[in-house]
Amino acid sequence: MNHQKFDPLSQENSPILTCIKDIYKRYQPINEGNVATYIPELAKANPDFFGICITTPDGQIYQVGESQQSFTIQSISKPFVYGLALADHGVDKVMSKVGVEPTGEAFNSIVFDEDNNRPYNPMVNAGAIATTALIKGEGYEQRFDRILKMFEGFAGRSLTVDEGVFQSEKSTGHRNRAIAYLELNAGMLEGNLEEHLDLYFRQCSILVTAQDLAVMAATLANNGINPITQQQAVNPEEVRAILSVMASCGMYDFSGEWLYRIGLPAKSGVGGGIIAVLPGQFGIGTFSPLLDPRGNSVRGIKVCEELSQRFKFHLFDSHPVSQTCVIRTYTGAMVSSKRQRRGVQRDFLDREGEKILVYELKGDLYFATLEKLTRQLQNNQKTAKFIILDGHRVGNVNSSAITLLSEIKQWCFSQEITLILTGFEPKTTVRLQDNNWTDDIFVDTIDTALEWCENCLLSEEYNGITTVKNQFSLEEMDIFKAFTPEEMTALAPLFSEVSYQPNDFIIREGETSDRLFLLAKGMATVSLRLSQKEQRKRLTTYIPGIAFGELALFDINVSQRTADIVADTEVICYVLEFNRLKTLLNTKPEVYIKLLQTFGKTLVNTIKRATLEIRSLSV
Amino acid sequence: MNHQKFDPLSQENSPILTCIKDIYKRYQPINEGNVATYIPELAKANPDFFGICITTPDGQIYQVGESQQSFTIQSISKPFVYGLALADHGVDKVMSKVGVEPTGEAFNSIVFDEDNNRPYNPMVNAGAIATTALIKGEGYEQRFDRILKMFEGFAGRSLTVDEGVFQSEKSTGHRNRAIAYLELNAGMLEGNLEEHLDLYFRQCSILVTAQDLAVMAATLANNGINPITQQQAVNPEEVRAILSVMASCGMYDFSGEWLYRIGLPAKSGVGGGIIAVLPGQFGIGTFSPLLDPRGNSVRGIKVCEELSQRFKFHLFDSHPVSQTCVIRTYTGAMVSSKRQRRGVQRDFLDREGEKILVYELKGDLYFATLEKLTRQLQNNQKTAKFIILDGHRVGNVNSSAITLLSEIKQWCFSQEITLILTGFEPKTTVRLQDNNWTDDIFVDTIDTALEWCENCLLSEEYNGITTVKNQFSLEEMDIFKAFTPEEMTALAPLFSEVSYQPNDFIIREGETSDRLFLLAKGMATVSLRLSQKEQRKRLTTYIPGIAFGELALFDINVSQRTADIVADTEVICYVLEFNRLKTLLNTKPEVYIKLLQTFGKTLVNTIKRATLEIRSLSV
C-alpha cells in the first residue's frame, strides 16, 4: 500500500476543503460576543480574526482564514499541562491533588471538593493552578522550560511567549492569586506559590495559531504521536486521561451541553481558541476572539457544531452496528494447498481436511466484529484441529480486538486446536507479539498455512510425508494413463532422463521454452522473484508423476519461461525436447495428436480450476 | 454472508463467556458497601445477589450469576424517560425545562440552574422529576402506561411494578416531594404535582433483571432498535441525547471519574443495577445491591472497570489511526472489461482507458479513511473522466462516510467526472439514496462499470459502438491468422454456417461438448445461472472473429458445457463438429496438429491471463 505524502497546496479543490470554506463563509459575518477584557492585553485582540484548521494524524492540513495568526493559548494549556503532571507523578498522586469531576460552575469559580480537599478538576483555574504546581523541575526556568518543550512537542515547532500578556496576567490576575492562596491555606498546594503562579500565567501566555492547535489536537487523535515530527509527544495513557477531562470538563459550565450538541472532547481558551479531537481521525483548531459570556469563542462553537452535525462526528452519533468480520469460511477438504498430492495422500486429505478450518476476515477488527467470529468458532469446535484466521482484507485492528484475539488463542489452546494467523499486517502482528504471541502463529499466506496443516495431518497418519517412492517409470506418469504400450513405444525414445541436485534450477525465468518435463523422482518448487526484493513467492510444489513446462508445447520456440523451478531434493526428470516431435509427425501423427489432446486436456482442467478460483476470490 | 442465530446455551465454552465468568468469580467475594436504606423496602435486598449480562445488537446474550433476578430499576429509569420526553416535545422545549450540565453534587441535592430557572440535568432527582412531569398523556393511568410501554420496548418483554417499593417510595420520599415543591414554587413544573410524583415513584419501582438492563443498553448500542424484538424502541436522535447525558451526568458526582476510568456512557440505580453502553457494539447490565456512599453498586463499578480495562473499551482508548481505505487503484488502460474488443477499438481503449480510474476500497469507511481517498482523487483529477469506487471488500460505513461520499459526488460533478459505485452492500446504497443519490450511480461489479465507461469513451469516438461489420469470412477469424490458403482449403469443408436469432441459445449449460464455434457476425453473451435464482451472472460478451466452445476440442465427447451462450443480436457462426476431424487425421494430419497447437496456444494465453488475474485478486 502506497503511503503518499501530498503537497497541502494541491488540496485547493479538495471536497473537504471546499466544505470547510463553506462553513467559514457562513460564520464569518457573525459578530456576536466580545473579546476578553479581564486582562488589558487581551482586550486588544482583533475581533475580525477568524481561522479554521483541521489536521489528520498523518499530517494533512486543511485550513481557511487567519489560521496562521498568533494568539495566546490561555486555558487550552490546561489539559496539556495536566498530561505532563500525570507523566511526572502518575494517576494516583495527581488524582489526590486534583479531581476529575465537573463542577457546573464558571472557569474562575472558587469552589473546592471539600471531601477530598482538592480542586474539582484540572480545567477550572483552581485545578489548573494546582496542576501546574505539580510540574517537576529545579526552579522556575527549568520548570517552565519543561512546559514549553512539552507544548513544542505537541505543536511540532518552536513556540514563544507573549511577554506583554504574561506581564498583564501576572499583574492583574488577582482572582487567580486569591484562589492559589486559598489552596495554599487548605494545604492543597505545596512549594513556592508565586513560582507556581508565574508558571501558570506564563503557560497561558504561550503564542499559538489555529494551525498549531489543530496539530496539537491531531497529536491527541494520533495516540500522542505528533503528525508532523512523528515524535511521541505524550504517552497513550495520558492521551486517554487528557481526552476524558476535556470531555467531562473542557468547556466549563458549557461542558454538558457541548458534549450533548457537539460530542467531541474539546477545550477553549479566552484568547479565542478552541481545540476538538475525534480520536484516531483528526484534530480541529479554531480561532476567533469574540467570546460568549462563558468565555468560549462564539464562531468556534458554531464551526464545531456545524462540522459535527454535517459529518456526524458526535461520539454517540448512530454507529454502524457491526456485522461479523468473517466473509468466507471453508475447510481443508474444500480448498487444499497448492502443494500437489497424489493417490492415498490426496484421498486422505479429502477426508481429513475437515479438521482444518479457514476463516477469511474483512473490515476493521474490534470487539463486536470478532465477537461474532467467536460464535462461529464455537459452532465448529468439534471437528477442528486447526484454525486459520486470514487477515489480508482486514483494515484497522483496535486494542479490544488485540485482547479478544488473545482470548481466542487461549480458548483454542484449551480446545487443543492449533491457531494460525495469515496475511495480517506487521503492525498488527507486532502488537500481538507484545501480548505474548509467538512467531510460529504468523504465516504469510493461507496457502502456506494450509500446506503446514496438511503436512501435520499426513505426518500423523503416515509418519512423515516425504517418504519418497522409487523412481516412477515413464508409463506411470499421470499424462500417459490412457496410452497403449504401442503408443508408449513410439514415445519413449523421444524422452531423455536428466538428474538434478537439491537447489539446482530446472527452469529459469526468462529462458526460451523448448522442452517439457515429467517428474520421475523427488520434489521441485515453482517460485517467482518478487520485484526489487530477495523474497520469492512460492506458487506450487511438484511431486513425482506430474508434468511441468508443458505450456510451451503449444507455443514452441516463441514463449519464455515465466517462473523459476528449483529442485527441492534430488530430482530425476524425463525431458522431451520439442524438436524431437518432428519425427513423430512423420511416423506416428495419431500419437502426436493424442499427445497434444492429452496435454490440451490438462490445460482445460487448469483453466477450469483457475475460473473457480477467480470466482471464489472475487467475493 | 450468512447471518446465523445461535442458541445461547451453545456459548457455554465461548472465550467471551469464559472471560466474564472469570471477572464474576473475581468480584463475588467483595462485600463492601451497603444496601440502600433510604426507603424501607430497598433495605430488604439480598446483598449476595450478583449478576452480569452482556448483550450484543444482534441479540447474543452472555450472562453469569443472578442475571435473572428482579429488582427495581430506580434511577436507571431516568435516561429512558428523558428520551420519551424528548420524543414528546423535541430538544428545545425539553432543554428549556431541564438542562444537561453536570452539577458535581449528589443525586438528591437541592441545587438549580438559577440563570435558566431549571434543574441542572435529567439525571439528578430534581431534573428527573421535571422530566417525568413532561410526559404526555391523559391522566395518571395513561401517562404511566406510556412510560411502561416505553420500557417494555427497550427490554423486549412485559414488565411489572413492585407495588411494595412504590408505596414505600410514595410514603417516605419526603425529600423528593420537597424538591418537587421547590420546582413548583419556582415555576419549573406545571400541572398536577402529586400525579407527577406518583409517576416518578412508580417509574422507579419497575422491576427489571440484569439481563433486561443489558438488552436495554444493547438497544441504545443498536441505534434504538431492540435486539430481541427488532422493533425501534427509540429514535437515533434520542439515543444520541440519552447517551450524552449518561456520559456527562449518569453516575452523579462520580460521573467525571467514571468517564475517566471506565469511559462508557452509563447509569446506576440504588436498586443495585448499572447499565453501560459501547455504541454499535454491546450493552452491559450488572446487578449487585451493595452500594458505595454515592449510591453506585460497588461490584457493578468493579465489573465495568475490569471489562473496560481488559478489553480497552474506554471511548478514548488508543484508537487505531486510520489508513487509507484504498487498497488498489488502476486505470481502464491497465484493466479492461471482460467484453471482448477487437482491432481499433482495443487500441483506442488501450490509449484512452487512462480516463477511467478504479479505486478498490477495503475496511470500514468513515471520515478519516475516506479523507485519504479524497487526496488520491485530487491527485488524479486531471486525467479522470470516470471514477469507479468499488466497495465489495468494505465493512461498516458510518454516517460521516455517507456525508463525505456525498461531498465527493458533488466534487466529481464540479470536475465533470462521472462517479460510479460498485459492489456496495444494499444497506449502504439505500442510505446514499436517502442522500439524493440516483440509482444509475450504483453498479453491481467493476466489470460492468468498466464496460459502461469503455462504451462511453468508444461512443464519443465512434458514434456508437455497435456498428456491425459485414460477416467475417472463415479466413478472417483470429484463429486462422497463421494458416496458409492450402491449409484453409483442407479445413473449410469441415465447417458449416449456422444462424441464430436474438436470445437463441447457442450453447446450453449441461449439453455435451461436441463442437466448436467461430463467431462470424453479431454478438453473443456467456452467462451463468446463479443457484436458486432467476438472476444470471454475465461472464463475457463475444464479438465477431472470436472462437468459443473450443475447450471441448481437447476433451471430445466427454465434457459438458459449463455455461450458457446466448445470441444478443442476429448471429452467424461457423461450426465445427468434432467427429468431422477424423477425416482430417487421415488426409492432412499436419493441419490437424496445427489446429490443435493453435487452439492450445489460446488456452495457454487464457491460463496466463487467469494467473495474472488470480495474482492481482489475491492482494
Model pLDDT for residues B27-46, shown as the tens digit of each residue: 999 989 999 887 788 888 89
B318, part of any domain: no
Total domain count for chain A? 3
Q: C-alpha angle A6/A9/A11, rounded to 5°? A: 70
Cβ-based neighbours of A339, under 8 Å, separated by 6 or more: A451, A454, A540, A541, A543
Q: Which amino acid, one-letter code, is at B176? A: N
Residues B400 and B506 in one domain: no
B361 within some domain: yes
Asked if B462 is an active-site residue, the reply is no
Tell me: do A348 and A448 sit in the same domain: yes
- Indicate whether A173 and A303 sit together in one domain: yes
The whole-angstrom separation of Cα B508 and Cα B497 is 19
CA distance A214 to A277: 9
Q: What residues does A72 pair with on adjacent strands?
A: A207
Q: Could you identify the residue written with the cell 486429505?
A: A349
Does B229 share its domain with B305? yes
C-alpha cell belonging to residue B97: 425545562
Instruction: Confirm whether A2 is domain-assigned.
Output: no
Distance CA(B277)–CA(B307), nearest Å, equals 12
Domain presence at residue A99 = yes
Q: What is the pLDDT of residue B259?
A: 95
Which residue has better confidence, A614 or A390?
Answer: A390
Place of cell 523421444: A494
B307 pLDDT above the threshold of 60: yes
Q: What local confidence, expressed as pLDDT, does residue B3 receive?
A: 35
Please give the residue range of the domain that contains residue A346.
Answer: 326-462
Cα separation of B165 and B168, whole Å? Answer: 5
C-alpha cell at A240: 486517554
B357 & B431 share domain: yes
Sequential DSSP letters for A171-187 = HH-HHHHHHHHHHHHHT
Is B14 one of the annotated active-site residues of the chain?
Answer: no
Q: Which residues of A touch B599 (CB under 8 A)?
A: 600
Contacts of A82 (CB under 8 A, 6+ apart): A94, A98, A122, A128, A131, A241, A242, A245
Contact A235, A87 (CB under 8 A): yes
Query: Nearest Cβ partner of A10 from B16, B57, B378?
Result: B378
Query: Higher-confidence residue: B259 or B434?
Result: B259
Asked if residue A468 belongs to a domain, the reply is: no
A589–B contact, CB cutoff 8 A: yes
**Residue A411 maps to a domain:** yes
pLDDT of A100 over the 50 cut: yes
Q: Are B476 and B513 in contact (CB under 8 A)?
A: no
Question: Which of the following is catalytic: B77, B78, B98, B297?
Answer: B78
Among B210, B207, B213, CA closest to B160: B207
Out of A223, A278, A316, the one facing B240 most closely (by C-beta) is A316
Mapped onto helix, strand or coil, the DSSP state of residue A38 is: coil
Question: Is A395–B280 a contact, with Cβ atoms under 8 angstroms apart?
Answer: no
How many CB atoms neighbour CB A217 within 10 A? 29
Q: Is A308 a catalytic residue?
A: no
CA-CA distance, B528 to B524, in Å (whole number)?
13
Q: A345 versus B114: which is more confidently predicted? A: B114
- Residues of B (409-438) whose Cβ lies below 8 Å from A: 410-411, 415
Closest CB to A321: pick one of B222, B257, B399.
B222
Considering only CA atoms, which of B527, B287, B248, B269 is closest in space to residue A253? Answer: B248
What's the rounded Cα separation, in Å, for the pair B544 and B387? Answer: 30
Assess whether A270 carries a catalytic annotation.
Answer: yes
Please indicate if any CB of chain B lies within 8 Å of the CB of A374: yes
Q: Enumerate the residues of chain B whose CB falls inside 8 A of the CB of residue A240.
A: 263, 314, 316-318
Residue-wise pLDDT for B537-561, tens only, equals 667 778 788 888 888 888 765 678 8
Contact at CB, A104 and B102, closer than 8 angstroms:
yes
Query: Does residue B252 carry a catalytic annotation?
Result: yes
Residues contacting residue B527 through CB under 8 Å, at least 6 positions apart: B536, B537, B538, B539, B563, B564, B566
Let me know how long chain A is. 619
pLDDT band per the 50, 70, 90 thresholds, residue A1:
very low
Q: Is A348 exposed, middle or buried (0-12, 13-18, 19+ CB in 10 A)?
A: middle
The pLDDT, as a whole number, for residue B9 is 42
Q: Is residue B321 included in any domain, yes or no?
A: no
- Domain with B572 in it: what CATH number? 2.60.120.10
Report residue A138's pLDDT band, with 50, 70 and 90 as the boundaries.
very high
Secondary structure class of B501 (helix, strand, coil): coil
Among A408, A437, A462, residue at a domain's last position: A462
Choose the weakest-confidence range: A3-17, A35-49, A280-294, A571-585: A3-17
Helix, strand or coil, per DSSP, at residue B31:
coil
Instruction: Report the b/e string of A293-315 with b at 16+ CB within 10 A.
Output: eebbbbbbbbbbbbbbeebbbbb
Interval A245-297: pLDDT, tens: 999 999 988 999 999 999 999 999 999 999 999 998 899 999 999 999 988 99
Instruction: Tell whether A269 and A357 lie within a shared domain.
Output: no
3-state secondary structure of B36: coil
> Which residue spans within A398-472 are E strands per DSSP?
418-422, 442-443
B50 and B179, same structural domain?
A: yes
Could you give the C-alpha distances from A407 to A33, A39, A148, A402, A432, in angstroms and in order?
Answer: 54, 57, 43, 9, 12
CATH label of the domain that carries residue A110: 3.40.710.10
Query: Could you tell me the pLDDT band of residue B469, with boundaries at 50, 70 and 90?
Result: low
The x, y and z cell numbers of residue A251, run together, are 468547556
For residues A370-383, give the mean pLDDT: 84
Q: Which of B72, B36, B65 is nearest to B48 (CA)?
A: B65
Could you tell me which of A504, A555, A495 has the C-alpha nearest to residue A525?
Answer: A504
Half-sphere exposure of A175 (CA within 13 A, CB side): 11
Contacts for B7 with CB less than 8 Å, ≥ 6 apart: none
Q: Are residues A272 and A387 in the same domain?
A: no
Q: Do A281 and B368 touch (CB under 8 A)?
A: yes
Average pLDDT, chain B: 88
How do residues A396-413 score in pLDDT, each as one tens digit?
A: 888 889 999 999 998 898
pLDDT confidence of residue B378: 83
Question: A435-494: per-residue pLDDT in tens?
Answer: 888 877 888 889 889 988 998 888 776 654 444 557 889 988 888 988 999 999 999 999
Q: Which of B234, B270, B358, B443 is catalytic?
A: B270
pLDDT at residue A306, rounded to an integer: 95
Q: Which residue of B has its CA nearest to A603?
A: B603
pLDDT > 70? residue B463: no
For residues B381 and B527, membership in a common domain is answered with: no
Closest CA to A426 of A383, A457, A397, A456: A397
The confidence score (pLDDT) of residue A324 equals 77
Same domain, A350 and A289: no
- Domain finish residue from B281, B311, B341: B311
Residue ranges for the known binding site of B are 75, 125, 169, 176, 200, 252, 270
What is the tens place of the pLDDT at every residue in B318-337? 666 767 788 888 888 878 88
User: Which residues from chain A sit within 8 angstroms of residue B245, using beta carbons?
Assistant: 256, 260
Between CA A580 and CA A582 the distance in angstroms is 5
Flag whether A16 is in a domain. yes
Residues of chain B contacting A613 with CB distance shorter than 8 Å: 614
- Shared-domain flag, residues A412 and A495: no
- Same-domain pairing of B435 and B306: no
Q: What is the CATH number of the domain that holds B395?
A: 3.30.750.24
Q: What are phi and psi of B582, to 5 degrees?
A: -55, -40
A to B CB pairs, distance under 8 Å: 408
For the residues B156-181, what does the mean pLDDT come to? 94
User: In this complex, is the C-beta atom of B9 within 8 Å of any C-beta atom belonging to chain A?
Assistant: no
Of A462, A495, A529, which residue sits at a domain end?
Answer: A462
CB atoms within 10 A of CB B100: 26
Per-residue pLDDT band at B104 (split at 50, 70, 90)? confident
